[in-house]
Structure formats: C-alpha cells, structure tokens
Amino acid sequence: MFSSIKWKFIVVYFLLVFIAMVIIGIFIVNRLEDQQINSVTNSMEQNMETIISTSSYFASDNWVDNREGIQNTLNEWRLGSGETLYVIYDNEVPKILATTSKQFETIVGRNALSYRTIDPILVMDAFEGIKGENVIFDDSAGSDFKHLTYPVVSSVGKTMGILYMTSDLSNVANTLEETRLILTNATLMALVITVLLGFLIASSITEPIRDVTKKAEEMSMGDFDQFVSVKSDDEIGQLASMFNHLTLKLKDTIEEMDLERNKLDTIFSYMAEGVIAVDKSGVVIHANPIGLKLLGIDEIELYNNYKLDLESLGMEGIDYEEEETLNGESIFHNIDGVYKAKYAPYKNERDDIAGIIMVYQDITQEHRLENMRKEFVANVSHELKTPITTIKSYTETLMEDDIDSDVSHKFLSVIDNECDRMARLVRDLLQLSNIDYNKAKWTRKEVSLKEILKGSIAKLEILAREKQQKILCEIEDELPMISADKDGIEQVILNILSNAIKYTDNNGQIKVVAKSEEDNIKLIVEDNGIGIPNEDQGRIFERFYRVEKGRSRDLGGTGLGLSIAKEIIEAHEGTIELFSKNGEGTTVEVKLRRM
Ligand code: ADP
C-alpha cells in the first residue's frame, strides 16, 4: 500500500511541512525568548536608573549612614511582581544594605556573596565597575530569574555600591510555552491539512493512472474496448487521451492482423496443397488440414510437439548449416497417394533460419494417369507388334519364288486375318479415344431395347451357330422404351454377346434376358462358358485387360470390348456389372433408365 505514488506523495508533503514548521517554530520561539528577556532587562535597567536618579541617597558617599533612607525609598518603590532589588555596598565584604523584599529586616546586613538569590560573580564584577547580567534557575521558585547588576560610581570614579536586581522569568517562560503550544497546534493542523490536500492531489494524479493501468491490464487480456475518461487538459489528461488514441490504433491494428490471419487461415485450410512448417528441431509448428492428413495426425497431436522425420517425407540431406540444402523438391509416397513437396527455409525476427516450410501437392492422379499412359502405349505397341510381325514374316515368305498357290493362299488369308485384327484394334482405339475426348456424339432418342437386342442377336447368330451354341431369349413383351443412342447401345450388346459366344465352348448356352424393374430396364447376358477367375474379376473393365491373353487374341479379342461397353453405359447414366464363376459361366448385368 505504502509503495503507491499516493503515499509517497503524502509522506513527502508531510515531511516538508513538518520540517518547515519545526524550523519556523524554533526560530520564532528563540526570537521571542530573546525579545522577552530583552524587554525584562530593559525594564529592570530603567527601574534601577530611575531609582538612582530620583533618590539623593545614592549620590552621597556614605550609603551606610543613609541606610534607613535608602530602605524607605525602596519600600515605597513599586516594582513589578517577581522583581527584587538589592542595594549592596562594600564593607570589606559586599553586604546587603537594603532590599525591596518584604523580609528586608532578615536580609539586610547579610553577606551578598553568600546570599542564596545573588550571583557572587556578578557582584564581584560589578565592584570592578562592570555591569553584569545572567539568567539563573532558582530551585525554590522553580523558574529562571534574570539577574542584573548596576554599579553606582561617584564623580571621582569610585564604586560606591551596586544595585542588584532579580526578575522572575516565569512569565516569559509561560509566554514561550503558550507560543510553543500554539505553534505545535498550528503544525498539527497544517500536517492534517497537508495529509488531506496531499491525499486529494495525489488522488487526482494516481486515480487516472490507476484507471489507465486497470484498462491496460484488461487490454492485455484481449479486451480492446477500453476507454479512459479525459477529465483535464494537463499531462494526466494528455496521458489519458494518448492512451485512448493508442487503444484505437492497437484495436485497428489487431483487427487488421486478425483479418489477415483469418484470411491466411482460410486460405491454408481450404487450399488443395498440404502446408507443414517445422522448426529446426523437427517439431511441427503449423500444419493445415491437408498437411495433418498427410502426416496422419490430428490437431491435438500437433500441439503436443509432434516431431517429424524429414527423411520419411523424402527430404534427404537437410543441413541447417548449409542453406542450399534447405531449398528443393521431393517426391513422397504413402498409402493414400503420391505427393510432390517444395520446401524452403523461413526466418525468425532476428533474420536467422528458424525452420522449413513444405508445400505438398497431391500428384496421385497425375501419377496414375502417367502410369496409365505409359501402360497404354506399351499395350498398343504390343498389340500392333504381333500382327505386324506375322504379316511381315508371311509377306517375306510369299516373296520367295517357289511357293505354290495353295500355300500362298493360306498365307494371304493369315495376312488378311491379321489386317482385320489391326483394323478392329484401331477401330476400338478410335472409339475409346472419341469417348475420352468427348468427341463421341451420343444422339439419344426414344429407342426400343427389344429391337436393338433382336438385331444384335441376329448379327451374331451365325457365330453361335458355328459353335453349335443355343441363344435363349427372354425378352419382356411390353419392354419399356429407353432414351439412348441406338448405335452405342448396339455396340455394348454386341461386345457383351460376342464375349459370351467367344468364351463359351461349343454346344454351350447363352441366355439373354431383358425385363423392366422399377425405374430401370435390366439386361442380363448369361453364359455357361469358361468363366473368369475371382482375382481377375476386379480388373475386367480395364483397357487391354484380358484373362488369358493368347486365347483372347486367338479368338479375335482386343481387350477393349468391356471397357468400351462400360464407357458407353456410363455415358447413358446406367451401370454394368459382371458376375462369374471360374469354369461355370459368366453373367453380365446392364441397367438402363426406362422412359
Ligand atoms: P476381349 O476383346 O479380349 O474379349 P473384353 O474387354 O471384351 O476383351 O474382355 C476382357 C476379358 O474378359 C476377355 O479377354 C476375357 O478374358 C474376359 N471375358 C469377357 N467376357 C467373358 C465371358 N463371357 N466369359 C469369360 N471370360 C470373359
């Protein structure tokens, strides 16, 4: 409490006034005492001079003879109370000749040097012609007395005797005591007023300061709606208005910073890239949601000083002593995908490198597409290489001279078949490419699936017949119409049906079912052919995927039929599924929206 400015103020004021009052008091009391004693001394001197000048006895040489006259003069003389005059003459020893004391009879004739109320030194000095004075404390009266001697000298310079006067100074002491009391009271009053005034003045200074301090404390806790009232135009008022100005500025700045931070937070939160910042020790100090997902941690782990192994993220050779190792790119794989990281160092307020910021870009899709592209090129090359090699070797043989016409005819038919295969491959590739680049124009019209099915079966019937296969048809009589591209749907049916014929042995059976089902029309092509092993079923719709490459190729397949069918059905918002049991048969189910 006493450490506050208010109390320091009050104590300083108090001491100032106290010291000033004490100095003034001592000065006044001393001056008053001197003045009072001087006035007593003057009055005593005046009395003695008057008595000498008015009484003729003192002019005579022989005071002893005039002793009675002198005593009478003294008896008549009116001195102030507490004043006593002694007349002392030199009779070998100084003796009291007369006195104003009422008990003069007992006093007269006494040795002045041994009389209780007389100072012998003053008496001796006076007989030497020296006026003397002194203040002596009288034990019996309990107060100070002023002693004054006045030598009476004759015209020839002989000391005839001395007048010795004492005056009680208790009045002076009383006056001084009263003065001291008044001064003490005045000091006390002044001190009380000082404390009160000091309190008021200090309060007028400390209250606004305390107000500012309190508001600043609340500001430090994040509440910036703090204003202090400006009550004066002085330094304190200026401090208050400066504080308000500062608060407004700070509020604006913090709002701006919040806005910027929110903007950045939003950008970081919604950006497609993962952002991760680590300090020099590898502790993650910031990560956006994608970054957290990438690290496989949640925010709680992040705030628990999650330490990162940079090498596990594909960043090798990081050395904070060598700045060039802190910039670069890396590729990082995890089970979710493939990421490309760009990293760079960031600096702290002292411009020292404080850590590394990494930005991770998800390149899983690009990576997959790149792989698919490579695979596709390899597949196409491979598919073309076989017929080209065959054609080349057969042509070379044909160019030899000694080939009979039967063999050459056989060779030419092989070349023709291989050309057909290449033509089919190129046709299928073109169709896929058209679908990929949205060039395939689907002219959707109201068409009858029943009609398309009948047409397709008719086209392939001859193939089935060659293999003595039976095609059973279960097509609903009132099969609803569909909105579709006739050629596209026909292509799908031909692909599925031709597969069923291709991959079903001689004498096999193929069942084609078409029925309406809620909002859809369901087309089922079921065969009792060779079937597809379980492990291959998941990839059967991939381009160039074939269960048995050789067999499919021998049967004229390109490995693109089912993928084309899937693309077309999906372009018609339908679904295509394949169920199969190895060695038992395959069922392909197509669902298309009815009209
Ligand atoms: P392909 O032109 O080789 O027939 P598809 O894309 O049409 O290519 O079929 C892919 C592969 O799926 C075929 O190579 C074949 O192994 C298998 N497959 C498709 N349909 C059947 C089916 N009905 N029965 C058995 N296997 C089939």
> Residue 208 — pLDDT band, cuts 50, 70, 90?
confident
Q: What is the pLDDT of residue 500?
A: 96
Whole-number Cα distances in Å, 555 to 210, 386, 563: 98, 14, 18
Strand 470-475 versus strand 509-517 pairing type: parallel
> What percent of the chain is predicted at pLDDT more than 90?
53
The more confident residue out of 187 and 159 is 187
CA max distance for the chain:
208
Of 420, 484, 421, 416, the closest CA to residue 450 belongs to 484
Of 73, 69, 81, the closest CA to residue 50 belongs to 73
Q: What is the pLDDT of residue 25?
A: 93
Domain range list for the chain: 7-175, 270-362, 367-436, 444-593
Mutational test site, ligand 1, from 503, 536, 558, 578, max ligand atoms within 8 Å of CB: 503
Domain 444-593 carries which CATH code?
3.30.565.10
The CATH architecture annotation of domain 367-436 reads Orthogonal Bundle (1.10)
What integer best gives the mean pLDDT of the chain? 90
Q: What is the pLDDT of residue 3?
A: 65
Q: Give the count of beta carbons closer than 10 Å to the beta carbon of residue 578.
A: 19
Q: Whose CA is nearest to atom 14 of ligand 1?
A: 546
Q: What is the pLDDT of residue 374?
A: 92
Q: Is the CB of 527 under 6 A from ligand 1?
A: yes
Out of 3.30.70.980, 3.40.47.10, 3.30.450.20, 3.30.420.610, the CATH code matching 270-362 is 3.30.450.20
> Residue 524 — pLDDT band, cuts 50, 70, 90?
very high
> Residue 157 — pLDDT band, cuts 50, 70, 90?
confident
| pLDDT (average), residues 440-454 | 91
**Same fold flag, 270-362 and 367-436:** no
| pLDDT (average), residues 428-442 | 84
Tell me, what amino acid is at 107?
I
Q: What is the pLDDT of residues 478-513, one digit of tens each?
A: 999 999 999 999 999 999 999 999 999 999 999 999
Is the pLDDT reported for residue 274 higher than 70? yes
Is the pLDDT reported for residue 1 higher than 60? no
- CA Rg value for the chain: 67
Of 448, 529, 447, the closest CA to residue 496 belongs to 529
Distance (Å) from CA 546 to ligand 1 centroid: 6
CA 21 to mean position of chain CA atoms:
56
Taking each helix axis from N to C end, the angle separating 405-436 and 561-571, rounded to the nearest 10 degrees, works out to 30
Looking from the CA of residue 558, the nearest atom of ligand 1 is 2
Query: CA 461, CA 457: separation in Å to the nearest integer?
Result: 6
- With the CA atoms of 331, 334, 337 and 338 taken in that order, what torsion angle do they form, in degrees rounded to the nearest 10? 0
Tell me, what amino acid is at 301?
E
Q: Is the CB of 206 under 6 A from ligand 1?
A: no
Whole-number Cα distances in Å, 175 to 123, 142, 182: 30, 16, 10
> Residue 447 — pLDDT band, cuts 50, 70, 90?
very high
Is the pLDDT reported for residue 391 higher than 90? yes
Looking from the CA of residue 553, the nearest atom of ligand 1 is 3
Q: Give the chain's count of helices (H) and strands (E).
A: 15, 17
Q: Is the CB of 499 under 6 A from ligand 1?
A: yes
Q: What is the pLDDT of residues 65-103, one digit of tens each?
A: 888 888 988 888 888 888 999 999 987 889 999 999 888
Query: CA 390, CA 414: separation in Å to the nearest integer?
Result: 8
Distance (Å) from CA 499 to ligand 1 centroid: 6
Quickly list DSSP for 46-95: HHHHHHHHH-GGGGSS-TTTTHHHHHHHHHH--PPTTEEEEEEEEESEEE
Asked which of 471-480, 507-516, 549-558 is least confident by mean pLDDT, the reply is: 549-558
Cβ atoms of 518 and 478 within 8 Å: the answer is no
| pLDDT (average), residues 298-326 | 85
Q: Whose CA is nearest to atom 8 of ligand 1?
A: 559
Spell out the long-range contacts of 313-317 with Cβ–Cβ below 8 A and sequence spacing 24 or more.
313/341, 313/358, 314/341, 315/341, 315/343, 315/356, 315/358
Phi-psi category of residue 408: left, alpha or beta, with phi > 0 → left and psi -120 to 50 → alpha: alpha
Q: Whose CA is nearest to atom 21 of ligand 1?
A: 499
Please give the structure tokens belonging to residue 331: 């590729």
Query: CA 149, CA 265: separation in Å to the nearest integer?
Result: 107
Residue with tokens 């991770």: 360
| pLDDT (average), residues 547-563 | 83
Mutational test site, ligand 1, from 509, 510, 546, 549, max ligand atoms within 8 Å of CB: 546
Is the pLDDT reported for residue 181 higher than 60? yes
Residue with tokens 């991959």: 503
CA 404 to mean position of chain CA atoms:
96
Query: CA 302, CA 343: separation in Å to the nearest integer?
Result: 20
Q: What is the pLDDT of residues 349-372, one digit of tens each?
A: 899 999 999 999 999 999 999 998
Q: What class is the 7-175 domain? A: alpha beta
Distance (Å) from CA 141 to ligand 1 centroid: 148
> Residue 136 — pLDDT band, cuts 50, 70, 90?
very high
Query: CA 560, CA 498: separation in Å to the nearest integer?
Result: 13
Is the pLDDT reported for residue 29 higher than 60? yes
Is the pLDDT reported for residue 430 higher than 60? yes
Distance (Å) from CA 532 to ligand 1 centroid: 8
Q: Is the CB of 585 under 6 A from ligand 1?
A: no
Distance (Å) from CA 443 to ligand 1 centroid: 28
Q: What is the pLDDT of residues 40-69, one digit of tens each?
A: 999 999 999 998 888 888 888 788 888 888
Distance between the two ends of the chain, CA-based, in angstroms? 91
pTM: 0.52
Q: Is the CB of 558 under 6 A from ligand 1?
A: yes
